[in-house]
Amino acid sequence: MLNERSLAITQECQDCPIRHRAVCARCESDELERLEEIKYYRKFEAGQTVIWSGDRMDFVGSVVSGIATLTQTMEDGRTQMVGLLLPSDFVGRPGRNTAAYDVVATTDMVMCCFRKTPFEEMMSRTPHIAQRLLEMTLDELDAAREWMLVLGRKTAREKIASLLTIIARRDASLKLNTIDGPLVFDLPLTREAMADYLGLTLETVSRQISALRKDGVISLEGKRHVTVPDFNRLLDEAGDDADGGMFA
Amino acid sequence: MLNERSLAITQECQDCPIRHRAVCARCESDELERLEEIKYYRKFEAGQTVIWSGDRMDFVGSVVSGIATLTQTMEDGRTQMVGLLLPSDFVGRPGRNTAAYDVVATTDMVMCCFRKTPFEEMMSRTPHIAQRLLEMTLDELDAAREWMLVLGRKTAREKIASLLTIIARRDASLKLNTIDGPLVFDLPLTREAMADYLGLTLETVSRQISALRKDGVISLEGKRHVTVPDFNRLLDEAGDDADGGMFA
DNA sequence: CGCGATCTTGATTCGTCTCAATCGGGGTGG
DNA sequence: CCACCCCGATTGAGACGAATCAAGATCGCG
């Protein structure tokens, strides 16, 4: 069921693509070596559940490549996405042993895992790790609060525009695509996943995307490939103050 | 304007009411002594703004008594509360020097403050502080994610019930009121503040409170004093699984 | 080529917002 | 001491936006 193919993947921390952004970012080379001893890779396929909410969680780790989602579900099936895990993001909570959310890989994904207990021990002896984890957690808290404004106060159209903004920003930061020209990227989520993120139905998501297309804010090629001719126009539709830091 | 009356208040950390829950919870007595040297108290009146979003923030601190709110505002005035700060909660973000949110005291409030730079220095030399701050930040992140489900997926009635649940829980934990009998507490927020927390209008808040009263889920004395005859009934209305840990 | 999954579009319903009037309690000043 | 005022809360009527229910359209894939 877990479809483990960990064996195939091995990597030196030094060459790791998330070396400078993950929880290990501040580690010195000797600290890295000790991490290297306790780490192992796991691969997940698109659609596969990494952890179920409530399950015993005996590892933590970092997303190396691919995308995962964090979701909460009510008894009657209503679901809300509460986090989007991108490469370098941390999964799991030191000091807690059951998962609070469902974690699902939405694309093929590779994780760099640590068994929880050895990691916790190492964390208590390695301030560089704890410091970095604090920093990352504070960033996530800011992102969650930002998202609370989206969920609580924005219209459906603004919600879609906000999501596109976030995806566009992230994509630009990966591709160093800082030119002011049109932004081009792929949506990493289905309409339904977008709806779960935005607190909408998938029909409303579809309608609002169509509306933004009709109004020339975006253009689509297929269902996933998006072009944004004017990023400031998109920011405007999101209801954010112009250039929220990215092009400052 | 800042209405400083700090002078009047002095307190030994040992006797501090939030000693065992705040950011200093894990400190040894020698560490406490050093904190004692750099701390100072500030008093705020109900309604007073502690910090404006975007302002330079040169202190951090803990709420000692009273309640404050964390809010975000869009240009057109729509506002969303993103945090409720209760005694022992931490204000400010080490490593950042402008405030990301408005902080407003909703009751008279006392804060235990530290100038940011000395606190940051002390934190880097005192793992006990950093550890506790990480733990508190992880808790806040969980709370924020819990709230995302409320904002994104719950109905107005469920939102009100969820808020009452949270306030009742907190109140019970303070008063050690663990009997199964009726819970009694005061709402620390106006209808408008509740609306800002819940992503609703104040009219809808008022209507739903009336509806819950009419249906016997709660009873009111005046506008703020609430009695909950059956807590499980309230949990049910909130859409949560029965007894979310409190009476487990 | 046809099947299924995903997405789009339409018609209608339902919930919450908006606008507006009224109520009630606590404090103030006459 | 009481009338008044002000602020917060309540209640109502109507409008609007998103959900729901229901067909189809498009794409990828076997």
Mean pLDDT of B89-117: 95
The answer to whether residue B245 scores a pLDDT higher than 50 is no
Q: ∠ CA B75-A143-A125 to the nearest 5 degrees?
A: 145
The confidence band for B195, taking pLDDT boundaries of 50, 70 and 90, is very high
The answer to whether residue A79 scores a pLDDT higher than 90 is yes
Maximum alpha-carbon separation in chain B: 56
DSSP letters of A156-175?
A: HHHHHHHHHHHHHHHHHHHH
Those residues whose beta carbons lie under 7 A from strand C are A 190-192, 202-203, 205-207, 209-210, 220, 223-224; B 155-157, 199-201, 203-204, 222
Task: Please choose, from the candidates A38, A50, A60, the residue with its C-alpha nearest in 3D space to the C-alpha of residue A2.
Answer: A50
Nucleotide nearest residue B209, measured CA to C1': D10
- Taking the CA of residue A20 and the C1' sugar atom of nucleotide C29, their distance in angstroms comes to 68
Number of alpha carbons in the 13 Å side-chain half-sphere of residue A68 = 29
The answer to whether residue B247 scores a pLDDT higher than 60 is no
Mean pLDDT of A216-228: 93
Per-residue model confidence as pLDDT tens digits over A138-152:
999 999 999 999 999
**Interface test with chain A among B145, B150, B204, by most A beta carbons within 10 Å:** B145
Those residues whose beta carbons lie under 7 A from strand D are A 155-157, 199-201, 203-204, 222-223; B 190-192, 202-203, 205-207, 209-210, 220, 223-224
List, in order of start, the domains of chain A with CATH numbers.
6-149 (2.60.120.10), 155-238 (1.10.10.10)
- A 10 A CB-CB count for B65 gives 16
Q: Which residues of A223-240 are buried (b: 16+ CB within 10 A; e: fewer)?
A: eeebebeebebbbebbbb
- Taking the CA of residue A196 and the C1' sugar atom of nucleotide C20, their distance in angstroms comes to 36
The confidence band for A243, taking pLDDT boundaries of 50, 70 and 90, is low
- Taking the CA of residue B210 and the C1' sugar atom of nucleotide D12, their distance in angstroms comes to 14
Per-residue model confidence as pLDDT tens digits over B112-154:
999 999 999 999 999 999 999 999 999 999 999 999 999 999 9
d(CA B91, CA B85): 8
Interface of A with B (CB under 8 A): 70, 72, 74-76, 78-80, 82-83, 93, 95, 100-101, 124, 127, 130-131, 133-135, 137-138, 140-142, 144-149, 151-153, 198-199, 239, 241
Compute the nearest-CA separation of A7 from chain B (Å): 32
d(CA B20, CA B35): 15
**Edge-to-edge strand list for the sheet holding B225-228:** B183-186, B225-228, B219-221
Strands (E), chain B: 39-44, 49-51, 59-65, 68-73, 79-85, 90-91, 102-105, 109-115, 183-186, 219-221, 225-228
Per-residue model confidence as pLDDT tens digits over A42-70:
999 999 999 999 999 999 999 999 999 99
d(CA A114, CA A165): 33
Mean pLDDT of B150-163: 98
Q: Tell me what pLDDT residue B177 has.
A: 61
Burial class (CB in 10 A: 0-12, 13-18, 19+), A201: middle
Q: Which residues of A101-122 are buried (b: 16+ CB within 10 A; e: fewer)?
A: bbbbbbeebbbbbbebeebeeb
Q: Are A51 and A63 in contact (CB under 8 A)?
A: no
Q: Are B134 and A123 in contact (CB under 8 A)?
A: no
Per-residue model confidence as pLDDT tens digits over B24-47:
999 999 999 999 999 999 999 999
The confidence band for B160, taking pLDDT boundaries of 50, 70 and 90, is very high
Per CB-CB distance under 8 Å, the chain B contacts of A133 are 134
Strand (E) or helix (H) holding A102 = strand A102-105
Task: Please choose, from the candidates B75, B112, B73, B110, the residue with its C-alpha nearest in 3D space to the C-alpha of residue B196.
Answer: B73
The answer to whether residue A245 scores a pLDDT higher than 50 is no
Beta bridge partners of A55: none
Q: Tell me what pLDDT residue B173 has.
A: 77
Per-residue model confidence as pLDDT tens digits over A170-200:
888 777 666 667 889 999 999 999 999 999 9
The confidence band for A1, taking pLDDT boundaries of 50, 70 and 90, is very low
The confidence band for B240, taking pLDDT boundaries of 50, 70 and 90, is confident
Can you read off the two tokens belonging to residue A168?
């566009």
Mean pLDDT of A96-107: 95
The answer to whether residue A77 scores a pLDDT higher than 50 is yes
- Taking the CA of residue A45 and the C1' sugar atom of nucleotide D10, their distance in angstroms comes to 54
Share of chain B above pLDDT 70, in %: 91
Compute the nearest-CA separation of A133 from chain B (Å): 8
Size of interface A-B (CB pairs under 8 A): 102
Q: What's the N-to-C CA distance of chain B in angstroms?
A: 47
